[in-house]
Chain A
Amino acid sequence: MNHDEAAKLLGPYRDGELDLATCLKLEEHLASCPACQQQLAGEQQVADIIREETPRFTPSPFLKTRIQAALREAHTAAAPVPWWKQFSPAWLASGLAAAALVLTVWAVGILQTRGIPQLAQDAISDHIRSLQVNHLMDVVSTDQHTVKPWFAGKLDYSPQVVDLGPSGYPLIGGRLDVLDHRNVAAIIYQRRKHYINLFIWPSDTTPLHEGACEQNGYHVLTWSQSGMNYLAVSELGTKELQDFVDMIQQQTIPSRPGE
């Protein structure tokens, strides 16, 4: 084996990717070639550094849950497919029965309490419904001074509306919704193609605890400050939703007496 051939094979040699015959030929050359020995040391050095020092990114624990939920949904959706392929009355009937069964299973799944608080479940339902056609906003505005007055006369309190546009979470509007058995203000923010519903209502005697939960890929964060309960819900990742909440918390002005 000549030097040029050998030099090209040093990386694969180090990686254990050469067959035995080539290995032996290379080692023979290596024994008598200081330049190749030097280069092999370099290969070893870079491989060691990469292995020891390169950070490996690990996913958030929510990702696995979200994927499993999506897979279950896909599996359920795939189940009734055969009936329309073989379009005879008998097949149609059994197909419909299968579809009905799937629907029932789906409904049971929806109705089940899955260990997350009722309030968070209601908020997720509100959020999902808000994403359906023409339901997201009652007042469309990116201006906090338009959104805030819009609630006057519709609610017996006045929610603070902060704009996070410069931080990448633009305000896009407001809506009146129902949560916790009362009318509440829903402020809508956007993050790329995702939406965040921020519900605000007076804490009165029951301030919300700071909390987080997740269901089927939707994340809910709750807290209370300045006499108001806050609940943020979105399909955004936890980290981005948490960033959003941090900014809201920082920019919300403490309530003054009499306000």
Chain B
Amino acid sequence: MVEQHRDAGTNPAPPDFEQVFLPHLDAAYNLARWLLRNDQDAEDAVQEAYMRAFKAFARFRGGDGKAWFMTILRNVCYTMIRKLRTTETPEPFDEEVHQPMGEPALQEAFRQKANAETLHASLEKLPDEFREIIVLHDLEGLAYKEIAAVAAIPIGTVMSRLARARRRLRIEIVAANTRESLT
């Protein structure tokens, strides 16, 4: 259908825009889906991000568009989250209470089982900022510097937040496994 349009001489979006940003569609959708937790909202957010990126294209300074585009997408997602979750308050979490075991015990408990299902559920439980940083770094392969740009935080914060996010994720996984072995 796309080719048909171009042949027919209607105005396609500038090919350079599509060439630079459409390859990031999968990464964008993955982040949006993890943040917004449902397909339709994620699709809406990604489309909105493309529209905003298109309007702001003149301000794009070239180079790898991934971080630039993810910044826009992330803003769209958080705007939606604020609208969607006005009533929801995050569960308070005390890392000290949740981590009664030391490093060796944690690794041992962890080794038992961490399948995709457990991981999905555990990642869903993390606060947005933790879930986001794991998705950006460990799934989408963004470097610390890129994450710092996308999330508008200093690189030191990227480092400490990622460390806390991973620790929290391990605790959630161990907790899930413990619950499972009790039932």
Q: What chain A residues lie within 8 Å of B119 (beta carbons)?
A: 49-50, 53-55
User: What is the interface residue range for chain B against chain A?
Assistant: 35 or more
Task: Please name all residues of chain B whose beta carbon is closer than 8 Å to the beta carbon of A132 when the two chains form the complex.
Answer: none
Closest CB in chain B relative to A224 CB, distance in Å: 26
CB distance from B20 to the nearest CB of A (A): 12
Residues of A within 8 A of B123 (CB): 54
Chain A residues positioned under 8 Å from B42 (CB to CB)? 57, 59
- B47 near A66: Cβ-Cβ < 8 Å: yes
A76 is an interface residue with CB less than 8 A from chain B: yes
Do residues A75 and B14 form an inter-chain contact, with CB atoms below 8 A? yes
Residue interface mask B101-124, A partner, CB < 8 A = 1: 001101100110011100110010
Are A50 and B10 touching (Cβ within 8 A)? no
Q: Mark B126-147, 1 if CB is under 8 A from A, else 0.
A: 0000000010011100011000
The residues of A that contact B115 with a CB separation of less than 8 Å are: 53
A102 surroundings in chain B (CB, below 8 A)? 11
Interface string of A65-84 (1 = CB under 8 A from B): 11110111011100100000
7 contacts between A and B (CB under 8 A): A38-B103, A53-B114, A56-B26, A70-B47, A74-B51, A75-B14, A76-B10
A74 to chain B, nearest CB (A): 6
The count of A-to-B residue pairs whose CB atoms sit within 8 angstroms is 151
Q: Which of A8-16, A23-31, A145-153, A201-209 contacts B (4 or more CB under 8 A)?
A: A8-16
Are the CB atoms of B114 and A49 closer together than 8 Å? yes
> Secondary structure of the A side of the interface?
helix
Question: Across the interface, which residues of A come within 8 angstroms of B166, CB to CB?
Answer: 11, 43, 46-47, 50
**Cβ of B144: which chain A residues have Cβ within 8 Å of it?**
12, 15, 17
Instruction: Decide if A253 is an interface residue (CB 8 Å cutoff).
Output: no
Closest 7 CB pairs of A and B: A71-B13, A57-B33, A59-B29, A50-B138, A53-B119, A75-B13, A76-B11
In the bound assembly, the distance between CA atoms of A244 and B13 in angstroms comes to: 33
Main SS class of interface, B: helix
A58 to B43 alpha-carbon distance, docked (Å): 11
Instruction: Tell me if A74 and B139 are in contact (CB < 8 A).
Output: no
Q: CB distance A71 to B54 under 8 Å?
A: yes
- Residues from chain A with Cβ under 8 Å of B134 in the complex: 50
Query: Number of contact residues on A: which range applies?
Result: 35 or more
Among the 9-residue stretches B1-9, B64-72, B73-81, B87-95, the one with 4 or more Cβ atoms under 8 Å from chain A is B1-9
**Bound state CA distance, A65 and B169, in angstroms?**
36
Contacts of B149 in A (CB 8 A): none
Within 8 A of B (CB), among A121-170: none
Given the known interface contacts A12-B144, A53-B115, the answer about A105 and B11 at a Cβ–Cβ threshold of 8 Å is yes
Residues of the A chain whose Cβ atoms lie less than 8 Å from the Cβ of B1: 65, 114-115
- Distance between Cα atoms of A75 and B144 in the complex (Å): 34
Beta-carbon contact of B11 and A45 below 8 Å: no
A108 within 8 A of B: yes
Residues of A within 8 A of B173 (CB): 49
Selecting from A89-97, A178-186, A225-233, A235-243, the interface stretch reads A235-243
Q: Note all chain A residues with C-beta closer than 8 A to B4.
A: 112, 114-115
